[in-house]
Amino acid sequence: MLDPREYKDWQIAQVAEKNMPTPGLWQRRLGLQDDEIIPYGSVAKLNFLKIMQRLKDRPDGKYIEVTAITPTPFGEGKSTTSIGLIEGLGKMGLNVGGCLRQPSGGPTMNIKGSAAGGGNSLLIPMTEFSLGLTGDINDIGNAHNLAMVALNARMQHEYNYDDENLAKKGLRRLDIDKSRVEWNWVIDFAAQCLRNMTIGLGGKMDGFTMSSRAAITVSSELMAILAVAKDLQDLRERIGKIILAYDKKGKPVTTADLEVDGAMAAWMRNTINPTLCSTGEYQPCLVHAGPFANIAIGQSSIIGDRLGLKMFDYHVTESGFAADIGFEKFWNVKCRLSGLKPNVSVLVATIRALKMHGGGPAVVPGRPIPSEYVEENCGLVEAGLANLLHHIGIVKKSGIKPVVCLNSFATDTPAEVDIVRQAVEVAGARFALSEHWEKGGEGALELAKMVKEACEEPVELRYLYPLTMPLQERVDLIAREVYGAVGVDWMPEALVKAKAFEVDPYYADFATMMVKTHLSLSHDPTLKGVPKGWRLPVRDVLVYAGAKFLCPVAGSINLMPGMGSDPAYRRVDIDVETGEVTGLF
């Protein structure tokens, strides 16, 4: 085991990968049949339908969810903790695995870096995991952009031909309103130059001229659909219901109207099967669905969790961002859609984040960490506890008693740790200090033991709201009970939409997928700790008809992140002698 204070993540990964199980070895270790594993180089896809059919009568394992407090812009190590927990449970000799989300090329090549964990709690093979893996994001991008190609081509042909000529080509006029095109193009990079653009410039044969835009691929509705689909048939049906635009009478224009839904499903046929990767200590970990948690569900897939619960006695999954966003969606959307009930939730916190919420100076990616975060400051830690306690309260509202994991940093002092431990225990939650980043599974044993103990306690899962509750009431309840707002202010356009959705039975079973910043409990990313006396502004309600989401939008959310001035790609390269990738983090 290498010392992560002396070696980079990619160097630690390269050492671990020398003894990583091959697909053939995984097949023997996990008792898989020949037709249940599909090798892709050093990793493999697992045939979801075949394995589930064989294991349908096997009882589910323990279901462990990982969330966090409101993070600094660097994140607080949920993926690192998830991997460390898997390694810790593995050290205890338990049959454990997990399912994590696939990282996007946008943050991987930007400031945040890969989502492969860190130190000695890494997911391997790190290079493949970080750079496309088995192609799911690429397939989603192709399927998504195919819909945009079909839409623009149809608009061009309808502009150039009359109804008689369209009929000769087997087409009917859809009369698409160019000002109400809802979809965009996607690319899996942070490319702010594509946020607003004009397409179709040139001549009559160069497409329909219109304003357009691009988003990052993992924000695609197709990724949201993959995360919540139950099987291939469900995926196919949902793709056909995607609303791409509206016609001039306000009627939705779907992928099925354009007859592109079947081809989109064909592009995505392989995405239905999770990819099997490995922790740095060689426990199995599935990878399925993507990271975008602001507007989508921000979870590894229902398919991945269903599969993991059949294959493993302990299955670890992760929710995007903090408990106010990720856990709330896991609790009220994912668990309801899947029918799965978690045994425990792990709430990740760091001394660094608590100091930020206690009034510490701003933490800015790309700039040195202020001294307050690397020197003992018990006052800042104590002042920041309110955010942690609020998140403990969110989890407890679901009926789950959380385990708080303090993700250890070398600069944390015993006095600072003791302040957190005492506050957590007074709040009625379990506490574990975990050193998985430095020591891998050995450093996560305290956490693993606490989680195993918590899994033996009964859980009576209580949803925050019934499905019969109208949209406006749901949003108000989430704002008050989860975020801590004193109320909700609906902008006129959003209110009109909300009322229309409430009276239309088509939307009766749509999930409520809140859209807000992850950097604050409020809608304002500059408000840290637990803001008081504020109201949640809802400025729009987006509809994802294929995923069956209604997305109330609070604040300003950008689906295309920008590239920073010191991006990670500046340090990524290859060793021309070995072909190995260097510089990933």
List residues with catalytic annotation. Answer: 78, 80, 101, 112, 293, 321, 409, 437
User: How far is residue 179 from each of residues 173, 209, 261, measured CA to CA in Å?
Assistant: 17, 12, 23
CA 271 vs. chain centroid, Å, equals 16
DSSP, collapsed to helix, strand or coil, labels residue 451 as helix
How many Å apart are CA 352 and CA 73, to the nearest integer? 11
CA-to-CA dists, residue 442 to 23, 100, 144, 518, angstroms = 26, 21, 43, 31
Q: End-to-end CA distance of the chain, in Å?
A: 18
For residue 406, give every residue at least 6 positions away whose Cβ sits within 8 Å of its Cβ, in sequence order, or none: 349, 350, 351, 412, 417, 420, 421, 431, 432, 433, 434
With H, G, I as helix, E, B as strand and everything else as coil, classify residue 419. helix
What span, in angstroms and rounded, lies between the C-alpha atoms of 463 and 40?
40
Q: Are 123 and 279 in contact (CB under 8 A)?
A: yes
Q: What share of the chain is helix, strand, coil (3-state, %, to 5)?
A: 40, 20, 40
User: Do the strands 581-582 and 573-574 form a parallel or antiparallel pair, or are they unpaired?
Assistant: antiparallel
In 10 A of CB 421, how many CB atoms?
A: 16
> Under DSSP, is residue 169 helix (H, G, I), strand (E, B) or coil?
coil
* Whole-angstrom distance, CA of residue 11 vs CA of residue 561: 28
The strand pair at 403-407 and 252-254 is best described as unpaired
Cβ-Cβ contacts under 8 Å for 261 (sequence gap 6 or more): 236, 239, 240, 242, 254, 255
Report the candidate in 282, 285, 283, 281 with the shortest Cα–Cα distance to residue 300.
285
Residue found by looking up tokens 């391997």 in the block: 124
- Comparing CA positions, the residue from 215, 271, 243, 236 lying closest to residue 102 is 271
Nearest to 274 by CA among 31, 20, 66, 37: 37
Is residue 139 within 8 A of residue 270, CB to CB? The reply is yes
- Strand 243-247 and strand 176-181: the pairing is antiparallel
Angle at CA of residue 331, ends 325 and 335, nearest 5°? 130
Comparing C-alpha atoms, which of 526, 164, 563 is closest to residue 366?
563
